[in-house]
Structure 1
Amino acid sequence: DLFLSLETTLEDCPEQLRSDDEIVLAALEQDGFNLEFTSDEVKNNRAFVMTAVQSGYLDGRECGLALEYASETLRADKEVVLAAVEADVAALQFASDALRSDEEIVMKAVLLWEEYCEESRGGYPYNVYDEEDFPVEYAHPSLKCNQVFLAKVLRNMEQPTEIRSLISLVVNTDFSNREKVLKRIYHNRYFLGYTPEALRADREAVLIAVQQRGGDLKYASEKLQGDKEVVLAALNNDWSALKYASEKLQGDKEVVLAVVKDCGGALQYASEELKGDK
């Protein structure tokens, strides 16, 4: 009761209290994000983690995202992940690769997202496409870039959202028609993220995307995220794209200077060595 009345976090508590199961449970019931400050043993305790992801935050939000701090074992536990996703669909990003490839879990998240869109707009169309909110964005590429699965997703989407239009476009794209595919990459934000692996590793296709929207560097193959010309093209219109560049390029003085001179905020994505370079 004392802990609850203080509205504090486990981070502020001495080690002795953080090792007390009763205190830890009270803290997790109050704020699931306290899981971050618990021991590895607690993070691997199913009951404690379930309490965390199903609890409410101080400002009224639910704590599904606390799944981030659960053990690798529990992030691969289907029941735990479903509980987290039911609290916050974005929790899907912290699930194991196997569960991000699970059609049932991803579809459940899509249906919940649809409900949220309708409720948050009082039944009116939710026209603003925030790609960070849409659960398929967090699905494993084996589902995210699978036209058959995306067709199932489309059948379960009723709200006339921008993301629905994008999914429809992807489902109805003939990826063997390179000219048409490149045009769609050029004209449609995030389209690249739903294309087959070969396209996301295609230098021409990725350059077309990042020259329009630097943030599309996020969807490029690891090799192209380490391609200096590709990264500079992305940074030319979006300084925050530096966070998607390879570690080597985040530590490349020429690359970092090219973006920091226009936006100092980009320095946060530079290597530690360059952050300390006066």
Structure 2
Amino acid sequence: MEFALNHMSVARMGFAGLLRAASELGCIGVEVRSDLPGPLFDGMPAGDAGALARDAGLRLLALAEVSAFDDWTSDRRAQAQILMQTAAEAGAESIALIPRCDGGTGDLVMALRDLMPMLADHGLTGLVEPLGFTASSLRLKRAALDAIDTLDASATLRLVHDTFHHHLSGEPDIFAAQTGIVHISGVTDPDVQTSEMTDAHRGLIDGADRLCNLDQIERLLTAGYTGPFSFEAFSPDFHALPDPVGALRQSMEFIRTRGSAQAA
């Protein structure tokens, strides 16, 4: 397995801290976010940020995010254009496309049709991430894949398999061949109902995990997925730990050892 680190998991660190943490953990790359306090890359020029990551032996897997992308407007298009330009300057591989999550509906095909040539012009992949929340306009990976197939866009658009959102959606299918990246996090609160789970419940994966992460990971690997598994922990309790890197290392070891035992 290859691991990666989403900046959300170490949200209290700056960009340089994210790179140090990922290097210490032996990750292959990082995902950088535009929704954290402070400017993207801590205000560093995108080209310099990309060079810093490459010097650390890390890939810039993705920049996140174009939010509510399926509510496609001129403002949304401008937001996407700016993010793509930044990603291209930094040498990032993809950008994240996040659907509406306000109870409204979106026009998925229209948005993706307009995004396709923009992504191609910048040499980027679009990572479409369904959200399992009931308020999401795109809950199922199957719906995203149907739109991608309609547009014959598999060379430009890939799915995000998020173990948290996969659990919330109740979707049974695993689309390993169409998946560009996997986000992993665990929920260990024994009292919260699935319908009440929020991002704040998302910590690391251990023996108390309720999202069946090990099963999801095994199914993806068995089906041929070879990409990175990126830690995306939102929990404020995890963020407040004095040694989040040590906790991440323990979770990695748990996944490797328990996953190997389960596969055997």
By relative contact order (CA 8 Å, sep 6+), the higher-ranking structure is: 2
Max radius of gyration: which structure? 1
Q: Considering fraction of residues, name the structure with more strand.
A: 2
Q: TM-score, normalised by structure 2?
A: 0.36
